[in-house]
Amino acid sequence: MNRFLLPLSIFIVVLVFLGIGLKLNPREIPSPLVGKAAPDFSQPQLLEPTKVFSPADMKGKVWLLNFWASWCSGCKTEHPVLMDLAKSGEVPIYGMDYKDQRDEAMTWLSRWGNPYPVVGVDDAGRVGINYGVYGVPETYVIDKQGVIQYKQIGPLDSETVEKKIIPLVKQLEAQ
């Protein structure tokens, strides 16, 4: 009995570690930007190219910054969730059109609907780099002081919105 106890316990420990490893998502890299000031930018707007969009305009508000692109399939998956959230009026979602073609982005928005009050254009992907974006869609929750409080990597789903985003937004609004 004693002979098998040691190998068995080692096996169980290895099993537990492998089990944890299976549940980890290697695509989700913790962002060092959470808790730091949202990087500044000044980008032309998609719908009104003569105007600029800058996070400085958003001071004093809790808002979401959503990086998306018309070529991104995850953005299509996420889109109905964003539409619902925009309709609910809980929090404004500002868009950043990441490395996209202007006309294709406009077609995408007119076909599927536009949840964003304003969309900035990041055609060179520089704003994306400053925000540590490595795959769209990515969504940031930014507080009244302009500090990033949460980063969602990959498409938002209604569960994440209900259980994480909305409670966090309410808590930040109360501050």
Partner 1 sequence: MNIKWIVLIGLLFLSGPVWAGEARPLADDPANEARLKHLAVELRCLVCQNQTLADSNAPLAEDLRREVREMIAKNMSDQEIIEFLTARYGDFVLYRPPLKASTTLLWVGPFLLVIVGATALIITLRRRAGKVVDVPVTEDEHRRVEQLLTEGGKRP
- Give the type of residue at 101: Q
Residue 17 or 49: the one with the smaller Cβ distance to partner 1 is 17
Measured distance between the N- and C-terminal CA atoms of the chain, rounded to whole angstroms: 61
Number of residues lying near partner 1 (CB under 8 A): 17
E strands, 72-175, where? 93-98, 119-122, 138-142, 148-153
| Contact in structure between 116 and 144 (CB atoms under 8 Å) | no
Site membership for partner 1, residue 21 (CB under 8 A): no
Q: Segment contacting partner 1 (CB under 8 A): 24-32, 41-49, 81-89, 137-145?
A: 24-32
Interface mask toward partner 1 for 120-159; x: CB under 8 A? ----xxx-xxxxx-xx------------------------
Beta-sheet pairing, 52-53 with 43-44: antiparallel
Site membership for partner 1, residue 102 (CB under 8 A): no
Residue 151 or 169: the one with the smaller Cβ distance to partner 1 is 151
Give every CB contact of residue 87 below 8 A, 6+ residues apart in sequence: none
Site membership for partner 1, residue 7 (CB under 8 A): no
Residue 12 or 124: the one with the smaller Cβ distance to partner 1 is 124
Token duo for residue 77: 């998956």
| Contact in structure between 137 and 155 (CB atoms under 8 Å) | yes
Binding-site member from 19, 21, 30, 60 for partner 1 (CB under 8 A):
30
Beta-sheet pairing, 119-122 with 93-98: parallel
Residue 30 or 60: the one with the smaller Cβ distance to partner 1 is 30
Length in residues, the chain: 175
Residue 4 or 50: the one with the smaller Cβ distance to partner 1 is 4
Binding-site member from 19, 26, 60, 89 for partner 1 (CB under 8 A):
26
